[in-house]
Amino acid sequence: MVTGANNRVSGFQRTWNRFRTYITKPQNAILLMLGILLTITTIYPMFTILRDTIRLHPGSIDTQEKALEAQFDALGTKLTTYNWQNLFRDTITTRVGRERVTRSVASIYLWTPLLNSILISIFACFGAILYGGVFAYLVTRTNLKFKKYLSSIFIFPYIMPQWTLAVMWQNLFNSNAITGGNDGLFVTLFGTYMPKWWCEGIFPVSVVLSIHYAPFAYILIGGIFRNMDANLEEAATILNTPRWKTFLRVTLPLVKPAILSTILLVFSSAMGSYPIPHYLKLSTLSTQYVGMSSNRAGQASILATIMMLFGFLILIVNQKTTSGRKNFTTVTGKSGQSSLVDLGAAKYVLSVLFLLLTLFTGILPIVLFAIETFLPNPGDYSFIKHGFAGHTTTKWWLTSENVTENGMYGQKGILYNADIWNAFAGTFFVAICCALAAGTIGTLIGYCVSKNRRSKWASYVNNMAFLPYLMPSLAVGVAFFIFGSGAGIYNTFLLLILAGTVKYIPFASRSALNSMMQLSGEIEEAAIIQDIPWWKRMTRIIIPIQKTSIISGFLLPFMTCLRELTLFMLLCGQGKIITTMLGYFDEMGLYAFSSGINLILIVLILVFNTLVNKLTGASIDSGIGGD
Amino acid sequence: MARIELSHVTKRWGGFYAVDDLDLIIEDNAFVTLLGPSGCGKTTTLRMIAGLETPTSGRITIDGVTVFDSDQGINIPANKRRVGFLFQNYALWPNMTVYQNISFGLSNIKEAGLSVNENGEIQRNPEAGGAVRKLTKEEIDKIVARVSAIVKIQPFMDRYPGELSGGQQQRVAIARTLAPGPRVLFMDEPLSNLDAKLRLEMRSELQRLHLSTGSTFVYVTHDQMEAMTLATRICLISNGVLQQYDEPLTVYNRPNNTFVADFVGNPAINFMNARGKQQQDGTFRLQILDRYETVFTPGEKVEIGQWFADADKEISAFEAKVRPAEKTNKDLPFRYPVATVSDVPEKTGLDREDFVLGVRPEFVHICEDGPIEGEIFSAMPTGMETTVRIRVGNYLLTGVVFGGVLYKIGQKVHLRFDGPGTVLFSRMNGRLIACGKLDILGK
């Protein structure tokens, strides 16, 4: 190693030296490892879906035809195009009244759900951006009243489990005459029967999805409004530009990137949403998948493949637009005093309007769930007219023995029901494991990518980690279902944790990457120069400085995991975790139990959110959808 | 005890050459400044020597040990190069107190033959043997006490960086860098975030520090004043290419080319276009300022024909080397500024009879019997000296007059150029031909 004039070494030696130098940097070694790991955990399950579409499944419709059954032994391990052919060519004949109606398999199982999925996704995008965007503008740019309260309650629908609003919609508007079942609150109170299109199908699904995802729009668009230099608008005002023109030509183009990312996020999330269309009875790709998965397994995988394709499409659009998005980043920044638009008298009208709206979306579900647990029969609101006595009960909470009468179906009350508490314990276990794994991996990715900004491999790993974010939850769930069944780990916590970790790494990697990018590289270099080992640099310098955003990287997966249904429902039996348990009680018609579980879940999430927010300053809104 | 050697060091990002084929030898115990306009590659050079940036090709040795060699694939990481680095924005760890900031690095040292003498200096003597050990709490205290005494920050040991002023933070950063006793100290524009008064103070302290530590200092700055006052040698870089590597006064008095002449010195040197020929006796007869006939007498012997032949050879060798098709940041000849009242069209079709004369402002002498006539264009007295701009025809010349002399704007003055400090460049390639004396013959 001593200086020499011309001491060249062999090509192998040089390559080896270079590799050694590369790998001794911890960020490179970690990146290499995680890159390989993520490629396997993200790509392989997706690959298994594809493979599943060209295989026969014993016991499913694939093998019903005799000819095929005979061949099954031979074909069992072979690949076939049967599923594709069957889906696109076959017809099904059903009796409707006296007539026999023949429809193609594809139209029932594929085209109708696909159209519905796309429609609700588009409507959800529009609705979320309109509702969330207007609210964002009002909160950040005008002198609206009760801003602080409104701002925090507006996020509630996103924090709460997805189905909350769908179930509330049912509780409000269902009626025996129109939808069957019990009369909802609306009928009981006002005697109004809402039409069927209002109670089920595309309209309520779109509305509920819009409300559920409006917080995305609020946080993303509001973030830009908040950071936007008011001078930009003032400059236009000084040039005597009409206010509407300022809004159209200056304000709107600036928030365009945020609107775009909202669209991408909402579109893929809405497409993969299962509970909302399920409760509100709409046939979408995700509900159809669940409906047909047992007897048309191969064809169901084709649906999942289509959902996955949408995910990839969104990833590509996202990639294309991020380059343009960066052009705007210089605009945001230090605005000192931003002048607020005076709404005049409309101030009070709008404030009250939003107070009412958020009451419906944020407070009412909790109240309704609470009430439901005290009703003797599900949806029986007769206590409103006849008083509490005799029309309310505490049996759903307090029954401590097995009783088959009383409509308890042998279940103990919520407080004494070991199955429920086991499921809660399961959920917590999964949530904690997912949070630890996803948080750690995501933080490491954020750190390593920020250290290797120019490297292609780093951006590959970053994209690999981000991909599951844009994949519809159900598609990810399906991928892990097929993967898990193949690997023999179906219905294990391991599979749940694996799926959850992969799906939630983006939460942590985004927030870590954002914060690491803001940390000057010199802070760590100052320690490198002094030969401080890597783990000590991390534990003593980087993590303490960035603790808030790192904590949110752990917190977000945890919170999301607590209320996750779509991703997990295919991966385990119903008693394993609380959200699937909830679905079980729903199917059993024990709505008091499912409402009680909902109530506990919502309250828990809200308490956790507030607690962590107060303790560490980390909050859920800093992370979702952040880029 | 540390000599740094760079040979053929190149750093590029795609087609952009941040540092292009740099050869540099930094002698032991030197105080070298890397000087140049922003974006010229000086910080990149420093970071490459420290190991924070990986060169694209070339070789770097510190103290005889090859720390980087692209041909052999050697790249010793920054933490094993045993150097100190002072960052522009100090990079103090905000979550640690001043004491922790300084002691953190020390608590990680683990070597054989470690000892701390009474002054609180680390002694490394691996040959002496002894167990591999860490520094004790008392030893660390001793070292921290010593370095904090050097930069006078003892009262702030329990404060966090956020509670210190910029100057105090700077001192903490210096103490932290000094603590492990680095053999080389790299500094990246360490004074640029300080206010003017404090900067002056810290500048003199750095000079004292260099003397007392005996380490090799490499210092990056874009401030030519800092470079002039601190360095034992200045390394002037432009566009990733080394322009001149000399002692400060040599750089000032004998600039290699018009870029160096313009960059060093404040107020900047006066450039004048000149046209003429070399005479039989070796002097140059030149016409300047559109009307004055002058004689330039070179301080050393120079034969212009031979000089051009040599220069062309060097230039073509350089151009062959810089891969012009690949390099996106082209090495255009420096456009030296000639101050004029109204814009003058750029002359095209230069030949070997076109020259540029450079006269430092202190050599512009205003006196009653000066052969050049002009009028005061502007005058800026500071008390100690007065900077004046004098209009001669369409041209402006800058001069410095010592003492509080008051001039009226528009006042007629006479001037001449003093001393042997005039520099002559070729206008074609901007290179220095000779230093010498300029005499005005008349209009």
Q: What's chain B's average pLDDT?
A: 85
For the segment B147-193, what is each residue's pLDDT rounded down to a tens digit? 888 888 888 899 998 888 888 888 899 899 888 888 888 998 888 87
CATH 3.40.50.300 domain span(s) along chain B: 4-253
Q: How far is A1 from chain B (nearest CA, A)?
A: 6
Give the pLDDT mean for A42-50.
82
Residue with tokens 């399961």: A426
Q: To which H or E segment does residue A364 belong?
A: helix A364-372
* Interchain pair A17, B104: CB under 8 A: no
Q: How confident is the model at residue A474 (pLDDT cuts 50, 70, 90)?
A: confident
For residue A9, the chain B residues in CB contact (below 8 A) are 71-73
| Residue A48 predicted with pLDDT over 70 | yes
Residue A279, pLDDT > 80, answer: yes
More confident residue, B270 or A617: B270
Predicted local confidence at residue A5, as pLDDT? 43
Q: What is the pTM of this model?
A: 0.77
Question: Are A568 and A427 spatial neighbours (Cβ–Cβ below 8 Å)?
Answer: no
Reading the block at residue A389, the tokens are 């006595």
With beta carbons less than 8 A apart as the criterion, state whether B433 and B398 touch.
no
The enclosing domain of A451 has a CATH number of 1.10.3720.10
Interface of B with A in 32-51 (CB under 8 A): 50
- A483 and A365 in a common domain: no
Contact A558, A444 (CB under 8 A): no
Q: What is the mean pLDDT of residues A610-627?
A: 59
* Interface contact flag, A3 B66, Cβ < 8 Å: yes
Quote the pLDDT of residue A124.
Answer: 94
A369 and A472 inside one domain? no
Q: Are residues A451 and A566 in the same domain?
A: yes
B4-253 topology per CATH: Rossmann fold (3.40.50)
Kindly calculate the radius of gyration of chain B based on its CA atoms and give it in whole angstroms.
26
Q: Quick check: B258 and B426 in contact, CB under 8 A?
A: no
> Quick one: DSSP state of residue B64?
T
Which residue from B51, B58, B61 is spatially nearest to B28, judged by alpha carbons?
B61
Tell me what percent of the residues of chain B surpass a pLDDT of 90. 6
Give B-chain residues touching A535 at CB under 8 angstroms: none
Question: Is residue A446 domain-shared with residue A567, that is, in the same domain?
Answer: yes
Q: In this predicted model, what pLDDT tens digit does every residue of A174-201 receive, in sequence order?
A: 887 777 777 777 787 887 788 888 888 8
pLDDT of A330 > 60? The answer is no
What's the pLDDT at A119? 93
pLDDT tens digits, B109-143: 877 777 777 777 777 777 776 778 888 888 888 88
Instruction: Say if A517 falls within a structural domain.
Output: yes
Domain presence at residue A369: yes
How far is CA A59 from its chain centroid?
33
Q: Quick one: A364 and A480 in the same domain?
A: no
Question: Is the domain of A360 the same as that of A443?
Answer: no
In 3D space, the residue among B270, B267, B272 whose CA is nearest the CA of residue B400 turns out to be: B267
* Chain B residues inside the 8 Å CB shell of A7: 72
- Copy the structure tokens of residue A217: 């729009």
In this prediction, residue A333 carries a pLDDT of 40
Q: pLDDT at position A434, please? A: 93
Q: What are the pLDDT digits (tens) for A505-516?
A: 888 887 788 778
Q: Cα separation of A621 and A223, whole Å?
A: 10
Phi, psi of B87 (to 5 degrees): -90, 155
Closest chain A C-alpha to B229 CA, distance in angstroms: 27
Q: What pLDDT band is residue A94 in, cutting at 50, 70 and 90? A: low
Query: Do residues A500 and A353 both lie within one domain?
Result: no
- Pair A166, A121 in one domain: yes
Query: Which of B3, B69, B185 to mutate: most A Cβ within 10 Å?
Result: B69
Same domain for A415 and A368: no
Would you say the ipTM is above 0.85? no
Asked if the structure places residue A516 within a domain, the reply is: yes
Whether residue A606 lies inside any domain: the answer is yes
% chain A with pLDDT above 70: 83
Q: How many domains does chain A have?
A: 2
For residue A4, what pLDDT is reported? 43
Higher pLDDT, residue B345 or A337 = B345
Residue B180 and residue A7: Cβ atoms within 8 Å? no
Tell me whether residue A323 is in a domain: no
| Residue A384 in this model has a pLDDT that exceeds 90 | no
Strand B122-124 relative to strand A99-104: parallel, antiparallel, unpaired?
unpaired
Tell whether the model's pLDDT for residue A120 goes beyond 90: yes
pLDDT confidence tier of residue A491, bands split at 50, 70 and 90:
confident
Highest mean pLDDT among A125-129, A447-451, B2-6: A125-129
* Residue A480: domain span: 411-627
User: Considering chain A, what is the average pLDDT of its residues?
Assistant: 79
The answer to the question of residue A422 being in a domain is: yes
pLDDT of the residue at B326: 63
pLDDT per position as a tens digit, B290-338: 788 888 888 888 888 888 888 888 888 877 766 655 666 666 667 778 8
Query: What is the per-residue pLDDT for A324?
Result: 46
Spell out the alpha helix ranges (H) of A375-472: 383-386, 395-398, 418-451, 456-470
Residue A50 is assigned to a structural domain of this protein: no
Check residue A66 and give its pLDDT: 46
Tell me which of A8, A530, A539 to substitute to probe the interface with B (most B C-beta atoms closer than 10 Å).
A530
CB of B293 closer than 8 Å to CB of B275: no
Q: Is A22 part of a structural domain of the chain? A: no
pLDDT at residue A578 is higher than 60: yes
Give the pLDDT confidence score for residue A126 in this predicted structure.
93
Q: Are residues A286 and A238 in the same domain?
A: yes
Residue B62 backbone dihedrals phi, psi, to 5 degrees? -120, 125
CB contact under 8 A, B73 and A531: no
Residue A429 has pLDDT above 90, yes or no: yes
The pair of three-digit structure tokens given for residue A522, joined into one six-digit string: 């010199």
